Structures are given as C-alpha cells and as structure tokens.
C-alpha cells in the first residue's frame, strides 16, 4: 500500500492525513469520516469467491457454503467500534442482506466476519454484488 | 489458475482464503490464516459436483476431498428442510381451498423415495441428481 502522506487543514476542521501504513484518514475534529476499508466481491457457490475491488483488505476467506465470509484487513483499523455498511448481493427472487457478526465473532481491528442471508434469516445462495465498508 | 490458501476450520471443514493482491500471498498466509494453512492452486480443489458439497470438504495433507458421509448428511438435512417448506405450502393451499396437483399420499411417497435415494447414493453426482422436494 502507498505511504504518501498528504495533509491539509481547513477552517472547518477537516484534515486529510495518512498514517505510516498509508491509510488515508479524512478527519473532522479528530474523528475519521471516511471508509477505513472496503471490498466488493461475488460468490458463485462452494468456495468460488472473486474479490472484484477492495481497499485495505488483504483477503476474503470463505468459511463454508452458508455465505460465511471473513474480511481480513491489510492494516489494522483504529478501533473495533467501526460502523459497517454493505450489501448482500443479488439473489434469485430473494432479498439478500448483510448480517454482522457471523458465528458470534465480534468485529476486530484486523478482521470482520459477515454472513449474507435472506430476509428470513436463512443463508443465501450464490450472489454477485456483495460489499462491505467500514467507517470510523 | 489462481493461488488460494486453505486450512481446516473450527467446524472441521475447509476454509478458502482468497488474497486481494494488496499483499503477497505468503504475507497473507502468515497474517490472515492459522498455522498449518497452505497455498494451493484453486484448480486442485474439488470441482464439478464435488464443489457443490463445500461443507463436506476435508483437508488431508495437501489434498482436499469430499467426505461423502458428511455430504450425505448435509444433503439429507437440506432435503428435509425443503420438504418441510413444501409441506407447509401444500398445507396452506389446503386451508386456502387451493387444490394441490399431487395427492398427499403420492407426495409423501415421492418425498420418502427421495430420502431413500439419498441414503443409497454413493457419489456426489448421485446426490446432486436428487431433486429437492417442492410443493405440487
């Protein structure tokens, strides 16, 4: 990951910095406002997972055919109390949702375990447009 | 073919870690995976019908195979869940005054035959060929 550090300060308190690892932090009064990590991936079936694009994500682990994924961060996040946003992909006639945490595994600074589930809570099947973004 | 990292997970199955390319796979191996994880070419993983039974995969040394009794048990559980869902739909139809196309006794016999076929199957192809129960 690039380690270029650009810093600027404005009158409204917005500061753009990057730490030694190269993670860009756009801060407002000391609070990070941008995504610290994100990924978009597709899942066909079995173990077939394709990570299409990502930022600060070193790998995605498929833990089973129950749409159980671990997102591993390249550089640790500042805190385990980050906000998580995401999509559960495209199902066949079902509403798919991102569910956190998977397997009662609490989010950590180094990884995040998620499930993709149907609206009734059952595990979803193959889906194309899974994504997650972590803020904070 | 892409390189992935595999290891035996906490459920006794196989997890497949897909690097994003931000870090060398050797770094991902040590950073994101437990001791004993190995790097393999994804073309060496079970393919075809064997790939459908990801939760029954078993890592033995450097080879991943399908544990057939586990695959059989998982498919039976999936079959039974589908039978329950289909049965509920049939029951709802009855209450709503909508005639099911197959009589209860014929439908039950068909479901039982499928269950027997799962018990007598000897390959994943044989399992995959057994259709899950549907409301008729």
Looking at residue A117, the DSSP 8-state letter turns out to be E
Instruction: Tell me the per-residue pLDDT of B51-98, one tens digit each, with 9 for 90 and over.
Output: 889 999 999 999 999 999 999 999 999 999 999 999 999 999 999 999
Nearest CA in chain B to A39: B20
Nearest CA among B29, B68, B25, B26 for reference residue B46: B68
| Cα–Cα distance for residue pair B56/B54, rounded to 1 Å | 5
B58 and B81 part of one domain: no
Which percentage of chain B shows pLDDT scores above 70? Answer: 100
Query: Is A28 a residue whose pLDDT tops 60?
Result: yes
- Residue identified by tokens 């790998």 is A59
Confidence band of A93 (pLDDT split at 50, 70, 90): low
Strand ranges (DSSP E) for A74-136? Answer: 83-88, 96-99, 111-118, 127-135
pLDDT at res. B74: 92
Confidence band of A2 (pLDDT split at 50, 70, 90): very low
| Cα–Cα distance for residue pair B123/B49, rounded to 1 Å | 9
Whether B136 maps to a domain, the answer reads no
Contacts of B116 (CB under 8 A, 6+ apart): none
| Cα–Cα distance for residue pair A128/A44, rounded to 1 Å | 7
pLDDT at res. A98: 81
* Contact residues, chain B, for A51 at CB < 8 Å: 18, 20
For residue B108, give how far its alpha carbon lies from the nearest alpha carbon of chain A (Å). Answer: 25
Confidence band of A110 (pLDDT split at 50, 70, 90): very high
B62 and B84 part of one domain: no
B24 and B62 part of one domain: yes
**Among candidates A57, A65, A72 on the partner chain, residue whose Cβ is nearest the Cβ of B54:** A65
Q: What is the ipTM of this complex?
A: 0.84
Confidence band of A49 (pLDDT split at 50, 70, 90): confident
Give the A:B interface size as CB pairs under 8 Å. Answer: 80
For residue A11, give how far its alpha carbon lies from the nearest alpha carbon of chain B (Å). Answer: 35
Whether B86 and B115 have beta carbons less than 8 Å apart is answered as no
Whether B133 maps to a domain, the answer reads no
Q: Given an 8 Å threshold on Cβ–Cβ distance, is B18 in contact with A39? A: no
Residue with the larger pLDDT of the pair B3 and A93 = B3
Residue with the larger pLDDT of the pair A115 and B131 = B131
Query: Is A4 a residue whose pLDDT tops 50?
Result: no
B81 and B50 part of one domain: no
Among candidate residues B41, B66, B91, the one where a domain is terminated: B66
pLDDT at res. A120: 63
- Can you give the three-state secondary structure of B34-100, one letter per residue? CCCCEEEEHHHCCCHHHHHHHHHEEEECCEEEECHHHHHHHHHHHHHHHHHHHHHHHHHHHHCCCCC
Whether A69 and A60 have beta carbons less than 8 Å apart is answered as yes
Over residues B102-126, the mean pLDDT reads: 96
* Contact residues, chain A, for B22 at CB < 8 Å: 1, 54, 56-58, 74
Over residues A2-8, the mean pLDDT reads: 48
Whether B102 maps to a domain, the answer reads yes
Whether B135 maps to a domain, the answer reads no
| Cα–Cα distance for residue pair A71/A42, rounded to 1 Å | 13
Among candidate residues B51, B66, B81, the one where a domain is terminated: B66
* Contact residues, chain B, for A54 at CB < 8 Å: 20, 22
Mean of per-residue pLDDT scores for chain B? 94
Q: pTM of the predicted model, to two decimals?
A: 0.84
Query: Is A1 a residue whose pLDDT tops 70?
Result: no
Q: How buried is A115 (Cβ within 10 angstroms: 0-12 exposed, 13-18 middle, 19+ buried)?
A: buried
For residue B78, give how far its alpha carbon lies from the nearest alpha carbon of chain A (Å). Answer: 12
Q: Tally the domains of chain B.
A: 2
Domain residue limits at B105:
69-128
B10 and B62 part of one domain: yes
**Among candidates B9, B11, B32 on the partner chain, residue whose Cβ is nearest the Cβ of A72:** B32
Over residues A78-92, the mean pLDDT reads: 84
Q: Which of A6-10, A35-39, A104-108, B45-49 has the lowest mean pLDDT?
A: A6-10
């Amino acid at each position: 990951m690039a380690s270029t550090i650009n810093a600027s300060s404005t009158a409204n308190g917005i500061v753009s910095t990057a730490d030694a690892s190269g993670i860009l932090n756009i801060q407002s009064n000391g609070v990070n406002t941008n995504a610290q990590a994100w990924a978009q991936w597709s899942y066909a079936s079995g173990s077939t997972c394709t990570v299409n694009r990502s930022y600060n994500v070193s790998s995605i682990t498929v833990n089973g055919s129950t749409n159980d994924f671990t997102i591993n961060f390249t550089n640790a996040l500042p805190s385990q109390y980050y906000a998580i946003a995401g999509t559960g992909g495209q199902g066949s006639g079902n509403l798919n949702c991102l569910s956190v945490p998977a397997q009662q595994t609490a989010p950590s600074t180094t990884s995040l375990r998620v499930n993709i589930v149907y609206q009734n809570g059952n595990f979803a099947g193959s889906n194309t447009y899974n994504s997650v973004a972590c803020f904070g | 073919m892409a390189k992935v990292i595999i290891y035996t997970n906490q459920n006794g199955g196989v997890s497949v870690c897909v690097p994003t390319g931000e870090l060398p796979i050797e770094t991902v191996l040590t950073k994101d995976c437990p001791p004993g994880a190995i790097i393999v070419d994804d073309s060496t993983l079970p393919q075809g019908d064997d790939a459908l039974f990801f939760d029954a995969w078993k890592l033995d040394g450097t080879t991943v195979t399908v544990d057939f009794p586990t695959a059989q048990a998982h498919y039976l559980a999936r079959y039974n869940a589908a039978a329950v869902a289909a049965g509920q739909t049939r029951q709802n139809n009855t209450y709503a005054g909508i005639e099911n196309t197959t009589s209860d006794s014929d439908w039950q016999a068909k479901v039982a035959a499928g269950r027997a076929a799962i018990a007598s199957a000897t390959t994943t192809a044989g399992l995959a060929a057994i259709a899950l129960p549907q409301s008729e």
